[in-house]
């Protein structure tokens, strides 16, 4: 659960954090008894605890399909990510990966830690895939085929232009959005939404991850991974890795802000997509990651720490997002709040300040015109009276002292 110092600073985080911890414990206990399904859900918790949490609220049939879809694409991504695999071996595997969904004898050992376990025991995923409905299988196979081909293309191609960047993000994330839309439709819970909206949902999340993960990707061993487009970073430095050097701090932040501004172009499509969803569980499943993305961009913008370490939302704020996201009112409120936070960080001397401000104002206009803003709680400004937060903080301190006291006494006994 969040650190003591963070909760003392934000005492109103305590209750959402407690609820999140309980929800995660509950999700971990919902592992199916069948060996193959047990492996799939256990692996899901290991490779993405946050995704494993939001997936739990889906109905059983759709939840199983989304779980397998995620693990299949995670396995495909593991092949792409493993920089130790020679290109002449990697490319054919990516292109043919979709065919192996039906071949339980096939596996390819690569990756590290939990990802290696996933690859070594991929037959469990294949067994579970075989039990899905025909509509789910066809959607997963089609997207896996298209994604593998796209990944293979960019193994041999650098991300030079912004168009290349959008194309790469389409293959690795936009197609995930299209696939999820197909699964939602196959479950008969949603209409099939336009591809361009589904694509934007994926691109917004992927671009946020690429921005946040700059340092991890550039330091990848044995070979760095570079996804920022030269058309953007080339305006600031000669080589992408130069952004991490302290002497380039000013240029690095300007480049970062340029990247964040580029990602904001997808927000209005994302809001349109989410407003069209009808099923409450599917809505929360889609909305929570999108709010996390705009929150992460607000934290990253104008922040040199992106080039020094890991920048992310504090755990208590994440817990609030998960706890409070129920309706489009909450979504519009969150996007408005985080866009205002980002707006407050814009330096008028930044080369892209005007473009950034224009995009933020367009997002805020969309949120205001929805008519929902006054109905949602703010994520950044306390909506509860101050005394309640103080009481929560005091209660947390009291509980901490009590637990410490009981622990000491137990040791003495």
Return the active site residues: 168, 212, 225, 285
Dihedral sign of CA atoms 301, 307, 313, 314 in order: negative
Q: Yes or no: say if 292 and 54 are a contact pair by the CB < 8 Å rule.
A: no
SS3 state at 34: coil
User: Secondary structure of 116-160 in the HEC alphabet?
Assistant: HHHHHCHHHHHHHHHCCCHHHHHHHHHHHHHHHHHHHHHHCCCCC
Q: Yes or no: say if 308 and 256 are a contact pair by the CB < 8 Å rule.
A: no
Task: Compute the CA torsion angle 30, 34, 37, 41 (nearest 10 deg).
Answer: 30
Helix (H) or strand (E) holding 201: helix 195-212
Q: Yes or no: say if 185 and 192 are a contact pair by the CB < 8 Å rule.
A: yes
- Residue 379, number of CB atoms within 10 A of its CB: 22
Answer whether the bond into residue 222 is a cis peptide, omega within 30°: yes
| Structure-token pair, residue 409 | 């006494």
Tell me how far apart the alpha carbons of residues 98 and 108 are, in angstroms, rounded to a whole number: 13
Rounded to a whole number of angstroms, the distance between the first and last alpha carbons of the chain is 28
């Amino acid at each position: 659960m969040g650190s003591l110092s963070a909760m003392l600073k934000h005492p109103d985080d305590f209750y959402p954090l407690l609820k999140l911890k309980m929800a995660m414990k509950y999700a971990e206990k919902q592992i199916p008894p069948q060996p193959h399904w047990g492996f799939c859900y256990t692996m899901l918790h290991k490779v993405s605890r946050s995704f494993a949490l939001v997936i739990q609220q889906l109905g059983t049939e759709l939840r199983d399909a989304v779980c397998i879809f995620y693990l299949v694409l995670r396995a495909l991504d593991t092949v792409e990510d493993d920089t130790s695999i020679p290109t002449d071996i990697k490319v054919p595997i990516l292109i043919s990966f979709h065919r192996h969904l039906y071949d339980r004898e096939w596996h390819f050992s690569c990756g590290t830690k939990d990802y290696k376990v996933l690859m070594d025991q991929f037959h469990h995923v294949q067994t579970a895939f075989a039990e899905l409905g025909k509509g789910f299988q066809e959607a997963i196979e089609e997207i896996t085929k298209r994604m593998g081909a796209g990944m293979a293309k960019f193994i041999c191609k650098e991300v030079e232009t912004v168009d290349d960047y959008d194309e790469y993000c389409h293959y690795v994330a936009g197609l995930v959005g299209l696939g999820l839309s197909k699964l939602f439709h196959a479950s008969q819970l949603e209409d099939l939404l336009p591809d361009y909206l589904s694509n934007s949902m994926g691109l917004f999340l992927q671009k946020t991850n690429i921005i946040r993960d700059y340092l991890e990707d550039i330091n990848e061993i044995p070979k760095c991974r570079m996804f920022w487009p030269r058309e953007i970073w080339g305006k600031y430095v000669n080589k992408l890795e130069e952004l991490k050097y302290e002497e380039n701090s000013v240029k690095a932040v300007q480049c970062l802000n340029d990247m964040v501004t580029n990602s904001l172009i997808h927000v209005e499509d994302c809001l349109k997509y989410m407003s069209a969803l009808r099923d409450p569980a599917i809505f929360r499943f889609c909305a929570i990651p999108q709010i996390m993305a705009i929150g992460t961009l607000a934290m990253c913008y104008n922040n040199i720490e992106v080039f020094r370490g890991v920048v992310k939302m504090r755990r208590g704020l994440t817990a609030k997002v998960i706890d409070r996201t129920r309706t489009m009112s909450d979504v519009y409120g969150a996007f408005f709040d985080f866009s205002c936070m980002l707006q407050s960080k814009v330096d008028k001397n930044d080369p892209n300040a005007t473009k950034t401000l224009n995009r933020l104002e367009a997002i805020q206009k969309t949120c205001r015109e929805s008519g929902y803003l006054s109905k949602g709680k703010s994520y950044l400004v306390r909506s509860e009276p101050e005394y309640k937060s103080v009481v929560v903080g005091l209660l947390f301190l009291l509980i901490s002292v009590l637990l410490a006291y009981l622990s000491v006494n137990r040791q003495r006994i």
